[in-house]
Structures are given as C-alpha cells and as structure tokens.
Structure 1
Amino acid sequence: MTSSDRTSLGQMNLKYLRFNVSQLESISALIPELRRGIYVLQFFNVEFYVGQAQNVATHFAQHRHGHTNHHEAWDDIERLWFMPVPENLNLTKIKNNEILRFRESGKPLRNRALNLGHNQPSKLDKEITVEEQHSWVLGDGPYDLCGTKEKLPPLGNEPSKFLKQVPDEYRDLILADLVFALTNLVPEAIKLEGRYWTILDYPSTAGGRRATLNTGTLELLFFPRREESGLSCLKTTTGTFPHSRLLSLLTPWKRYSRGFFVDQIHYNSTSADQVVFNSGDLKRICQKYPKILQGARTFALQAMRQNSSGKFAR
C-alpha cells in the first residue's frame, strides 16, 4: 500500500496526544475517558511500538508489567502517544497504516506484525539460536546439509505437476537452483522442512509459477510460468542494490545473457530487491556477487522469523 492509498489522519481529524510516562505504572489518570484508539509507545532507545486498544489504560499496563503471551515487561517506555478514535472508524486499518508509515520513515519498531526484520523474540529462536542465525547470515554456519537433495524428488517423479508441465529444457536448471537455495540460502533446511520452508510445484498463484520456494509465508525463489521465460526470481533484502540498479520486469531480456537485472517488490510487511536471472545460474551469481548471497540469506531468515510455513504445508 502506498502513501497515496491511505487516508491521512488529518483528513479524519485525528491527532496524537503525547505524554511523558517514564515514571508511571498506570495512565488511568492521564486518560480518564475516550480510551479507544491508536497508541504508540516510544522507548528510551528510540524504538517504537504501534498498537490499538478499546481501553488504552489496560494495554499500557500489560506492556509495562509484561504481556503474558507476547513479551516480558517493558520498563523502558519513555513516552506514550495516544490518538482517540471514534467507534465508526476501523482501528485495525488505522493501526496497520501507522505501522507502515513508521516503517517507511525509518523508525525502528518492536512490532512483529507487518514488520519483517524485527528484532523481537521469535519461535524460530527455539530451533536456531540468535547467535547461530547471525552466523548463518554471515556465511559462518556450519549446518548438517546431508540429505538436502532428497527433499526434491517429489518434483522429479510421477505424478508431479512439475514433471508433467515444465519443459524438459528448464527442468534440470530449476532443480539446480532449488538445490543450491536449500543448501546455501535456507538455514537448517533439513530440520525445518515443512514448518519454516516449503516447495510448491505449479501453485495456484497469481501470475503463474512453475515452482516456488517459500520461507515463512513469503516467496524466496520462484520460476515464472511465462512462455519461453526460463527465468528465476530471487528475493533479497531491500537495499541490496542501489536504487540506480533497479529496473522493471518489462525490461527486454536476452535469454542467454549471463547477467541479471533487479526490480523492487512490495509486501505489506516489507519491500525486497528481486534478482531476475536465467534458471540454473543461481550458484554462479551468488558466488560472483556475495552481496546477493547475503541479501538472500537475510531475507530467508527474516521471513522464517516472521512466520512458519504452515499455510503452505501439503
């Protein structure tokens, strides 16, 4: 969603009230009534958290003393921003727009939702320690990759849609890219298969894919079904390439080129630099351009920290 798609708070006649709450355990006296609305917690380390509440006093107390299901006590809250919102306006929509607005302005958020790359605790931390996650992004591993190729045979055997519908000239090239991705881009691929990453052949996705490697609930690597394309599309973290390198997917492409081009993809939770290249060329490109390897590893890890891949499981 772009900023032009959003209704500004000013147009809705909504604005924040700001309070210094660093010494307060309760805000009931500060906001005795009209407690329904959007709130922002500002922390001493200049991080922020955007939330919605029917009763902001209750939510503040939960954050201050520890929300049982979400986080430990936040004792570093410096300021509270609160925006009363009338009953006829949708809190969730306004909150989501505010999260996107804060994120686009570069403000670090403690929100997990709509905020890929957050530093909050994740379920993945129980599978891979935070220290090991950092090592993975930097390429320090190591992980037990024995058996990775054995995860792919369903794509190459009957009655796979992949085998039936992908032209022979592309099949081995696509499989080569998938094997490289699982052994070099996805952490602990054997251990986390089906829970934090999945491969789908001919998924019912808008635009059409021959196969898709999903990490969390986002595509990491996919192979478009366009006629005579023979292309692979890899997600890397936004900023992997300077803006001047970004081109449109409509850019004319020489099928046998040894290069690649980049465009930018937007999701609700993040943006990504998408590298487009000839299928079968993933290993060479990652070895020649280490920033692509690191950017893809980082994107995969962030997506896995954000969500499991349960909705794709078959």
Structure 2
Amino acid sequence: MVLVLAAGLSGCTSPTASPTTTPANQQITIIDSTGKVITLPRAAERIIVTNSDCAEVLIALGAKDKIVGITNTVANTPLMAANLGNVTSVGVWDNPSIEDIIALTPDVVISYASWKPKNLKQFQAANITLVALDCYKMDNLTSDIRTMGVLVGEEKNASAYAGFIENYMNIVKDRTANLTESEKPTVYWEQNRTKITSAGMGSGGDTLIRMAGGNNIAGNETQQYPEVSAEWIVRSNPQVIVRNVGYVKSEDYMKGVIAMVENRTGMSQVRAVKDGRVYVMSTTVAFGPKGFMGLLYMAKILHPDRFADVDPQKALDAYAEKFVPGANKDIYIYPIP
C-alpha cells in the first residue's frame, strides 16, 4: 500500500508490498457492494458507467480509456466532462437505454449499489453484467476502489489510490479517537433539496459527521434523508450547521445559501448562528472520491484546535496532481474553516 501525505499534515507511514496488475487474459472474480459474486473471463476492457463517482475512480486508476459509455449525470459533471471528452451517452443514470447499451457491447455496466436501475429487469433479460458500486460513502469508499481495481486489472493503482485516501481518513480517526461524548459538537446537516431535509442514520452526511467527531442531531432518524422543520432545528439548537449544495461557481452563491438558512424564523436563536458556525459544503467533496477533503474540512469545523495544522486544499492539490487532473479547481466550502 502506498500512503501519501501532502505538505501541511503531520504523520508517518509504513509502505507494504503492492499487489500486481492482473494479466490481461486471466479470469477475475469480484464481490460488488450488494454482495453479488461476479466472474469475468478477464479484466473489463469496455465499461459503461452510470455513476459519476465511479467514473472518477476509473479516471484515477488510469482506466478512463476503457469507458465507452456514460449517462447524463456523468456527462453533466464538469470534472468528468473535462477528463473524459466525447463519450457516448446512454441516457439517464437510473433508467438508461438498454438498446444503446447493447450497441456499445460493454463487458460490464457499473451502477450505484444504493439505487438500482428502474429497468433492472431489462438488464437481466438482455444478459448485461451489472456491477453495483457506490464509491461515495466514506466508510466503504476504499473497499469499492480496490474492487474496481480488480475489475479493470489495475490493482496496483487502486492500492496507491485507496492508500492516499486512507492516509487522510486515519489522520482524522487518530485525532478524534479519544473524544468524549461531551466533546463532540452537535451538528445539523441539511441536504440540497427543495424541502428542508436532513441526514438520517447511515446516510453520507451522517457518516461524515460521525467520522469527523460530531454528533448528528438527526442521527437516530431511520430514514436516510428525513424531512424536518425549521422549528425542529431551533428546538435541537445545534452547535454547527452544514448546508450541502451541488456544484458551486461563486462564493456569493454560498453566502446566499447561508443567509437563506439563517433568515428562517427562530434561527437567530440557534447556537450555530449566534457563534458564526454555519457552513456551506459542496456535494463534490462531501461525498464520493473527494470525500476525504470534506472529512478534513468537517474535522476542522468541529475541532479547530485538533486540526489547526491541516490544510485540505493542499491535500486536494496532491489528489489532482496524482490522480484526477483539475479536481482542485472548484469552490467547495464557505467560509473556509
């Protein structure tokens, strides 16, 4: 495993032997995120990917030339478009065109594990090999990366990539390991949705808060994304508020989102608002392959004294240089903790 530490973070690593790349004609077997065992006669050479997070992983593994088809969400992600160029679209991510997929003769189609395609029966009828990987939850991201490495015959690159991410995850884990419950700030996470929606048990936002040493006020909700009210937020009185947004083009937009949250009835009495601890974080670093950056930022937000020396931007610069060109160009958080 290759562990990489960017400037601005302290720590030590102990590299171990990396796995080799699978020979081109050797049979492979993987277990996807749903527990399904998939065997192929060789590593996949022609891939359709419906999941933009998995597309980013493929780019990082040096396997982007194996992508022969994408969906609308991948095509509409600026970073993916810049790295993939003109790749055939097979339609929408959760209901892609079976006819277009068949025409591209893929070895596999990679989709989300958490959201099955609406036309799953058509996939099965057409005998299309569907691999379900999420690549967006921090608690199983590196496992998904290593599985992807086997799938495309890039185990060595997958080990280096997963090790890079695990290095930062371990920094956060080590520095928050001895926190008492009273030292974990209460956090309200708000999803980027029309209705006021939080992050329930096991969701990506809940995982991020827990891993960074926080206490999610909606963490006991069994729905992953429960609708809540402004009154409930006020009653819960969180110490920190993080509002999730999509792709961001300006700080002014983020300032507007903060104003929207703070101007709700009663919010002026909430501790997070009083203390100036309301933040906006882009989905592109909150979840997915760049989620390690969101984790570092969340750790700095919740525990500024423990992470004063951590510079997430330097970590992302290293990520862009080593794995995904251009990944460090966007605006991801406001204000910067």
TM-score normalised per structure 2: 0.25
Q: Which has the higher helix share?
A: 2
Q: Which has the higher strand share?
A: 1
TM-score normalised per structure 1: 0.26
Which of 1 and 2 has greater Rg? 1
